[in-house]
Structure 1
Amino acid sequence: MLQLKYLFNNEDLAEMILNNWHFDEESKEMFTYYRISSNAIYPYIDKGKAQILRFAPTAEKMKSNIVAELDFISYLLGKEYGVLESIPSKDGEKLVEVSTPWGEYYASAFKRVLGKQISNTDFSDEIVFSYGKALGRLHYLSSQYTPGNFKRWSYSDVLDWMEEVVKDNPDELAAKKEIKLLRSYFASLPKSSKNYGLIHYDFEYDNVFYDENTKSCYVIDFDDAMYHWYGMDIEQALDSLQDYTPIELFQQKKQSFLDGYLTEYEYSNDLETFLPAFRRFANLYGYVRILKSSEEKWDHEPEWLTNLRKRLTAALKEKATSFGQPI
């Protein structure tokens, strides 16, 4: 997530950035539906159609990662994969660098995808099967993908970044040990084009939409994409599935998901062995991102920010539960 100082709603900033794209005059009425987490997301209207504006401070993002993300999305669209589509700016650019009174920003715009978020469905076996199928297809296409001039960062780069964040913090000995443990563990895993490549990383139910008419899924938000084992995506998806499924139905839904996945791509028979380590990576990454985002504090913070800090503190404690334990 972004540093907390960037989570404040700023409609003037959004309008200033949006002026780089074509839009209908009533667009600002849509700004009340904004969302800010890893990026600021503001909906807008162009020729009567709802679109999405996405932006973040340049200090919070790597330009090479964003360009590589947009290139991968273009590749997926070319393969007729259900994915969000970039909207070029007035100058024909997919990524715009904007100078504003609030600093420098990277901005992109996207068309809305079909369907509704899977989190708003009934999680029928058919939908969960389609969800697994979409991930399997994504991994198949990733295994065939060759990046251009820019390449997304890898799990190893992420571990390096995490190490940099915590290195001077004497209170983070457990996190430092966890980084070392995971680095050693992943170095021992077999790696090939069949089991390792560019993954979505955040293939969870709020980022996947199901369309009843086409009976298929559409995927958004590749902002966290990285090179990792494909099992990392599977673990994230199954973890999300657990959040929405009664305990007594989880095994059934899990099997529906995996059956769908196998229609498009194979996974190793020992996948279950590796999933706990992938969960540890996700917990550690989430932990360090929260740590980084909440470093600064201010006097007289608004109530929503005070409440958010409480939730983040609880999340830090939960994610750190297994730090330092043998894998």
Structure 2
Amino acid sequence: MLKLKYLFNNVNLAEMLLENWDYDDESIDMFQYYRISSNAIYPFQSRGKTQFLRFSPKSEKCKENVLAELEFISYLRSKHYGVLEIVVSKNGEELIEVQTPWGEYYASVFKRVSGVQMNETELSDNVIFSYGKALGKLHQLSSDYVPVKNKRWSYSDVLDWMRETLTDFPHEKSALLETNVLQDYFDSIPITKRNFGLVHYDFEYDNVFYDEESQSCNVIDFDDVMYHWYVMDIEQTLDSLQDCIPTEMFQVKKQCFLDGYYTEYDISDDMLSLLPACRRFANLYGYVRILRSVEEKWENEPEWLESLREKLIKAMKNKSTCFGMKI
């Protein structure tokens, strides 16, 4: 998540960055549907087709990670996997670096994928099966993937980043303890080509689109890709599904999802024992990102920012309930 100071709508900045790509002038009105979280996303059209401008301050991103993300997306497309398409700039670049009055920024553009978000479907057994199948296929392709130029960071790098970030918050002793607990636990887990590789990390229902015509899924938002055990994706996905599936139906839908997954990739039952630890990792990572984001505070903050801050602090409390406990 970006620091809160970067969450303000900045149409002038978006227009300045978009000049590096072809676009339909009248489609700038679509900027009103922007959203900002880990990146700023502004929709527009080029030759009548919807595309998305994505940008973030250079201080918030690691260039090698961004380039590695784009390289992985290109690899998946080369294997005919349902994934978003990168649009090169007028200068033929997938990622541009721009000096602006608001600082230095990275920016990219992606085409809109077909289909509707998973939570906008009826979440029938066929849809859930396809959802699981899409994740299994992603892991199968990931297991054969070898980066050409740039390598994405790993879960261990993320733990190091969290540990370093927490040095600015000496009172966060329980979060630091949780970082060490997770490091020790994951250090004891064998890494093989079959169980470990690049994971999407955010394979949640709002990042996966179901195409009724092809009865398949298209995936977006690879911003959080990292090297991890593949069960990390399974945990994140199943956790998100609980938000939109009635409790009494969840176990049936969970099995339907796993059945779809197993048609494309086989993961051993003992690996599923990592699910609780993966949840702990996700909670800690979310906690530290929020902690860093909300650190700065200003007088006379707008109401939406005050409300967001309260929501985020509540989320931090929920994520920290297991900190330091034995896994």
Taking structure 1 as the reference length, the TM-score comes to 0.99
Residue 241 (structure 1) shift: 1.1
- C-alpha deviations, 1:152-182, integer Å up to 9, x for none? 0000000000001112422201001000000
Aligned to 1:203: 203
The CA distance in 1 between the partners of 2:278 and 2:111, in whole Å, is 32
Give the alignment's Cα RMSD to 1 decimal: 0.6
The CA distance in 2 between the partners of 1:136 and 1:227, in whole Å, is 16
Residue 315 (structure 1) shift: 0.4
Question: Is 2:135 aligned against 1:119?
Answer: no
Is there any run of 5+ residues in structure 2 with no aligned partner, and where? none
Letter in 2 for 1:290: I
The CA distance in 2 between the partners of 1:168 and 1:305, in whole Å, is 23
Letter in 2 for 1:258: L
- C-alpha deviations, 1:116-139, integer Å up to 9, x for none? 000111111100000000000000
Structure 1 stretches of 4+ moved >4 Å: none
Question: Is 2:310 aligned against 1:313?
Answer: no
Aligned to 1:6: 6
SS in 2 for 1:53: strand
Question: Is 2:49 aligned against 1:49?
Answer: yes
Aligned to 2:36: 36
State whether residues 136 and 264 of structure 2, in contact with CA within 8 Å, keep that contact through their aligned partners in structure 1: yes
1:140-289 superposed matches below 5 A? 140-289=140-289
State whether residues 163 and 179 of structure 2, in contact with CA within 8 Å, keep that contact through their aligned partners in structure 1: yes
Question: Is 2:64 aligned against 1:64?
Answer: yes
- C-alpha deviations, 1:248-271, integer Å up to 9, x for none? 100100000000000000011123
Is there any run of 5+ residues in structure 1 with no aligned partner, and where? none
The number of aligned residues is: 327
Residue 190 (structure 1) shift: 1.2
Question: Is 2:317 aligned against 1:325?
Answer: no
- C-alpha deviations, 1:189-248, integer Å up to 9, x for none? 011010000010000000000000000000000000000000000000110111111111
The CA distance in 2 between the partners of 1:106 and 1:27, in whole Å, is 22
Between the aligned residues of both structures, percent identity stands at 65
Taking structure 2 as the reference length, the TM-score comes to 0.99
State whether residues 152 and 226 of structure 2, in contact with CA within 8 Å, keep that contact through their aligned partners in structure 1: yes
Letter in 2 for 1:120: E
SS in 1 for 2:269: coil
SS in 2 for 1:202: coil
The CA distance in 1 between the partners of 2:226 and 2:30, in whole Å, is 31
Aligned to 1:96: 96
